[in-house]
A and B are shown apart, each in its own frame.
Chain A
């Protein structure tokens, strides 16, 4: 996306449209506000602008929902046609534990699945590896072989329920397992719908679950992108994620800018792989955070849609309206939840979920009130799901599309966020693009700085967290939390031992050899080779290690 003049032109055009001066406000401030303050013996002004008026809204830009640039929503009828997918991120312990939880949530009215994997799985490490000791099943479900995936999806109709998988560095392996489960059941790949997170750039920026150097992981992403573009029309091959960037400490604008910059990189990548932009862009999805500052979040979602549409059209020449529509999943913010007085988290999550809905999300995960302490109990997850159902079915906020459209403040804020994002894109390009910026630690440093600033504001009480730095309660009673013992570890290791005993070792060696050759040759698509290996019950770690031999391991830049 290296194109200075493109961003500069956008910046110029936008800044000239944002009125720097608002005569109505100035007059009001002088004549009404200041005399009011004077009459009450208060200081003559405030640090921030107190209200917005018509002059703050750039004239005649956004028309109606379902129309380019989709600021007001990607569908004309939005939630009247279809409520967002209620998709609760879940996974813990053994595949059996998780299968049970998924079925429970579906029974409670959940409308899509979202699988959380444990840390060893996320780093491509087997359950019997010494490094995985004490970590099995803690942050998600453990998957070491295809057998585990078969158990997770037992009795769940893959052709009917859409499945999202939060997996990145070993994404190609888990993707191959998912595809294999479907193939073994006779479900045609074209019927599979869901999302693979597989967004590696944000791993280097924020979540830090990488194994190989960036180029290697990006190449595997490209292979999955090409494979699913050709064979799985209902599959989102990447979920470009701002969530982790935000949770690592970024501001709303930084989340917006770094996420979209990653998205543009993937567009460049697909084009370079020989795909037409309209062939693969419609299957790029996004994943944003919804934090506690409501209007800022709503403006962020609106700005994201507008930027994506404009850049895809003006820069990449996309013509298919589906390429221009930014579809996104939202998760309420984990960082804003408190360990102290955890029931307050239900309120925080409700407000954040409401922002996501007012911002036009396609899919939503609401955090459970106990998630600052542990993975959620069944009871806590139920309240979180009910929160979404209450917003959808009781409040009436779904009846009108983009109800905040036209609000002086929201429109102005949307515009300002768009402008700030363009400034970041320009800066990133001046560094040689997002990949170079990441290798130099630029986004990482920006995020660390923002996160420290936030901490400083919390310490000085400039930012308040109720129950944490204000309204503290010393006589709090602990709540019940989900405890995960070492049993899943035993079960997973035992299962792995029996799988290894039963499988055809010669076949494994042959599959891995072919995979090694495919990985070493940039022109070969590796997906079929990974599928063959998982079907022979090669383990996650064995397959990951082939890449380690071919590509080596990544050492992150120092940012301290």
Chain B
């Protein structure tokens, strides 16, 4: 990371990969979030439409992100978010948090939390709430990663 070299882990800008998994072109939300995350000091990567779960996970690893933010408005979140989580687990990725959002019925939220996708915000959520959640998840994974490194030395 270029601009974080001499900073403590908690001061480096948070890196977020925003992705729309599945077959869904409704990208109004991701562009709003991308700008909001940037304005909040985060670094944002958006790989474009129609990524596969594999390409999302690969990009997240390559880009060394703290958080993957998934957005889906077509109702397929249970199937598609699950695929992304399975791919992450298969690749044994532990230091990337996953948050979700879109048109997600209340009853699906606990099920998504259970597989590790948190947030799951719907329309009308203030940007500040989403930003705080992403920060919280990012620092949680960083704490854990940093703690592991510390223990290892």
Contact = CB atoms under 8 A, between A and B. Distances in A.
A552 interface: no
A119 B74 contact: yes
Interface in A71-124: 119-120, 122-123
Contacts of A469: 124, 126
Contact of B124 (A123, A209, A465): A465
B122 interface: yes
B76 interface: yes
A429 B93 CA distance: 49
A249 B137 CA distance: 29
Query: In terms of DSSP, what is the predominant structure of the interface of chain B?
Result: loop
Contact of B106 (A120, A468, A478): A478
A333 interface: no
A3 interface: no
A140 B32 CA distance: 26
Contacts of B105: 373-374, 481, 483
A138 B25 contact: no
Contacts of B110: none
Interface string A121-157: 0110100000111110011000000000000000000
A320 interface: no
Of the listed residues B83, B105, B123, the one surrounded by the most CB atoms of chain A closer than 10 A to its CB is B123
B123 A208 contact: no
A448 interface: yes
Of the listed residues B25, B46, B50, the one surrounded by the most CB atoms of chain A closer than 10 A to its CB is B25
Contact of B32 (A119, A139, A209, A452): A452
Interface in A211-263: 247-249
Contacts of B78: 134
A120 B50 CA distance: 11
Interface string B1-33: 000000000000000000000111111100110
B74 A339 contact: no
Nearest to A482: B75
Given A119-B22, A123-B23, A448-B31, A455 B48 contact: no
A134 B79 contact: yes
Contacts, number: 96
B107 to A, nearest CB: 8
A431 interface: no
Contacts of B136: none
B74 A138 contact: yes
A555 interface: yes
Nearest to B128: A459
A208 B28 contact: no
Contact of A135 (B22, B27, B31): B22
Contacts of A452: 31-32, 35-36
B79 A451 contact: no
A67 interface: no
Interface of B: 22-28, 31-32, 34-36, 44, 46, 48-50, 52, 74-76, 78-80, 83, 103, 105-106, 122-124, 126-128
12 contacts: A119-B23, A119-B76, A125-B23, A131-B22, A247-B28, A248-B28, A335-B28, A338-B123, A373-B105, A374-B105, A452-B36, A455-B32
3 closest pairs, A vs B, by CB? A134-B79, A208-B25, A138-B75
